[in-house]
Structure 1
Amino acid sequence: MLPIQRHREILNRIQVSGIVRVSELARSLAVTEETIRRDLDKLETDGKLMRTYGGATAVGDQYRELPFEQRSSINLDQKQSIAVCAVSYVSEGDVVALDASSTACEMAMVLRDMPLTLVSNSVTVCSAASSQSRLTVVSTGGTLDRPSMSYIGMLAEDALEGFHIGKLFMSSKGIDIERGLSVADESHARIKKRMIELADTVYLVADSSKFGLRAARFFASIREIDVLITDQQAAPDYIDQIRDAGVEVVLAEHRSRS
């Protein structure tokens, strides 16, 4: 395959999924990872994509919130594995908060039916958990952000104040060692920041495609996270740096909720 053909295929895949990985491209296009890195560097120089740690993302995606339907289909296998692992940390009697991430929604789908309180600003998370009759499901309410199908604003933030959140499970658009966790806009950054402030234990549930990516608004440092649950494809050197920051890192085994 000629370089121009590879470039076209890479851009097509980014258009469909929003993000690509070096390892997956090398395998599917039958070239070395070094060749793919050169391709991505060239495409970034041309302004056609943005390099991330271990891959690339569409230009401008770090500055906008993708619709939930689009986010939920990206790296679905990894998200399901992370979700199955994450729910093992939930116990009867817990007060658990889930954010509006697609990984949190995957968690809501596999939570066991047991007596606990689940608080979320996500319409989708609350709907997914509503089938479990022993769960007390609490929606924050607030201003509906339609692309993310979540509640934002002061009403949503104030609603969190009435709960002693034992465990928070959340994700982010970007994870950067130096700058921390980031999302696309200020309103989502504010409610995630408030959740962290109110939680006893903070679990970051995020697939490794987020590593090295900086979105528009930072809301927490790496050191504010207690546990990172990510996938087996995470780069070992990046994991070591996160552990050096005092974060427990768990690599989820490959599983699906089905």
Structure 2
Amino acid sequence: MKVLTEERQQKIIRQLNENGIVKLQDLVETLNCSISTVRRDLQELEDHGKLVRVHGGAKQITTLQSEPGVLEKSSKNVQGKQKIAQLAVQQIKADEIIYLDAGTSTEAMIPFMTGLDSILVVTNGVQLASKLADINIKTYLVGGELKNTTKAIIGADVVETINNFRFNRAFIGVNGVHRKFGFTTPDPNEAAVKRAVLKQSELSYFLADTSKLNEVSFAKIAALNAGVLLTDEHNHETLQQFEQAKKVMEAKR
């Protein structure tokens, strides 16, 4: 029995490492055990500091300064990010000027943007700019300091450049979404760039998969009412916590 318990818990940790969050019902199905057994496993793992239980499941333990690199982030919650990305692209209209924030959530939008060759995109993401050029979208890459871990261009030069632009829509990646602390990210320099973008955009969207909800990072970007929250979360009780946002849009299952 002890071996079976260890095997279940190892599978739970593996799923957490892959997705950042696990759902109770999904674990019941994949582990082929009762809901009470899964709850006991989650409780035991939480007691040992391996995870944090949340409504309907569990999530990884993070700190205020936790910031995975691009490769690590790109492998987590891939399906959720793709659904959010598709929903985000559906908001874009022909001939608009769009800002795409550096990050894996916004990068996931690009495969769905083929055919939008009448728009202009401004970005601080080096990888995003390259991929946008590959699908023949006119792109302006702002200049400044390159942050190696996230491949984002940051710094005062970026903020100054952005202050001279206007955007129809901005799509912003975040590390945390919290009812009290709003939208946050670990790096104050990246937060400053995001805040500058928000001031220059007619409408802003924050892309946050389920693992980002109820998380808090070091640097505040904005309050919840600064824009529209795009997420793959569908639990009504969870989404109610973010009703201060201008609108909460859920990606289709």
TM-score range, shorter chain: 0.7 to 0.9
Paired residue secondary structure (1:238): helix
Query: Residue 200 of structure 2 corresponds to which residue in structure 1?
Result: 198
Instruction: Decide whether aligned partners of structure 1 residues 33 and 145 sit closer, same or farther in structure 2, where only a CA change above 3 A counts.
Output: farther
Query: Residue 123 of structure 2 corresponds to which residue in structure 1?
Result: 120
- State the Cα distance separating 1:197 from its structure 2 match: 2.1
Following the alignment from structure 2 to structure 1, what is the Cα–Cα distance between the partners of residues 225 and 128?
26
* Cα deviation code 1:108-148 (max 9, x no counterpart): 22213322210111111111111233x32011121111111
Query: Residue 238 of structure 2 corresponds to which residue in structure 1?
Result: 238
Query: Residue 79 of structure 1 corresponds to which residue in structure 2?
Result: 81
Following the alignment from structure 1 to structure 2, what is the Cα–Cα distance between the partners of residues 98 and 33?
41
CA contact (8 A) 1:20 1:57 kept: yes
Query: Residue 249 of structure 1 corresponds to which residue in structure 2?
Result: 248
- State the Cα distance separating 1:196 from its structure 2 match: 1.5
CA contact (8 A) 2:169 2:205 kept: yes
Following the alignment from structure 1 to structure 2, what is the Cα–Cα distance between the partners of residues 208 and 60?
14
Following the alignment from structure 2 to structure 1, what is the Cα–Cα distance between the partners of residues 53 and 141?
36
1:132 equivalenced with 2:135 (yes/no): yes
Following the alignment from structure 1 to structure 2, what is the Cα–Cα distance between the partners of residues 172 and 62?
13
Stretches of structure 1 lacking an aligned partner (at least 5 in a row): none
Instruction: Decide whether aligned partners of structure 1 residues 68 and 50 sit closer, same or farther in structure 2, where only a CA change above 3 A counts.
Output: same
CA contact (8 A) 2:20 2:211 kept: no
Instruction: Decide whether aligned partners of structure 1 residues 247 and 187 sit closer, same or farther in structure 2, where only a CA change above 3 A counts.
Output: same
CA contact (8 A) 1:184 1:216 kept: yes
Matches within 5 A, 1:91-240: 91-111=93-113, 112-133=115-136, 135-225=137-227, 227-231=228-232, 233-240=233-240
Following the alignment from structure 1 to structure 2, what is the Cα–Cα distance between the partners of residues 213 and 170?
16
Q: Give the stretch that moved more between structures: 207-216 or 118-127.
A: 207-216
Following the alignment from structure 1 to structure 2, what is the Cα–Cα distance between the partners of residues 181 and 37?
30
CA contact (8 A) 1:96 1:119 kept: yes
Following the alignment from structure 1 to structure 2, what is the Cα–Cα distance between the partners of residues 188 and 235?
30
CA contact (8 A) 2:117 2:138 kept: no
- State the Cα distance separating 1:241 from its structure 2 match: 3.1
Give the root-mean-square deviation of aligned CA atoms. Answer: 2.2
Structure 2 counterpart of 1:121, one-letter code: N
How does the TM-score come out when normalised to structure 2? 0.88
* Cα deviation code 1:185-210 (max 9, x no counterpart): 22222222222222111112222221
Give the aligned length. Answer: 250
Following the alignment from structure 1 to structure 2, what is the Cα–Cα distance between the partners of residues 33 and 223?
37
Q: Give the stretch that moved more between structures: 51-60 or 104-113.
A: 51-60
CA contact (8 A) 2:43 2:53 kept: yes
How does the TM-score come out when normalised to structure 1? 0.86
Following the alignment from structure 1 to structure 2, what is the Cα–Cα distance between the partners of residues 62 and 200?
30
Instruction: Decide whether aligned partners of structure 1 residues 155 and 33 sit closer, same or farther in structure 2, where only a CA change above 3 A counts.
Output: farther
Following the alignment from structure 2 to structure 1, what is the Cα–Cα distance between the partners of residues 166 and 55?
36
* Cα deviation code 1:213-253 (max 9, x no counterpart): 2223222111112x22222x43111223323x253222222
> Percent of aligned pairs with the same residue?
26
CA contact (8 A) 2:59 2:211 kept: no
Instruction: Decide whether aligned partners of structure 1 residues 31 and 182 sit closer, same or farther in structure 2, where only a CA change above 3 A counts.
Output: farther
Stretches of structure 2 lacking an aligned partner (at least 5 in a row): none
Higher RCO, Cα 8 Å, sep 6+: 1
Structure 1 counterpart of 2:248, one-letter code: V
Instruction: Decide whether aligned partners of structure 1 residues 50 and 156 sit closer, same or farther in structure 2, where only a CA change above 3 A counts.
Output: farther
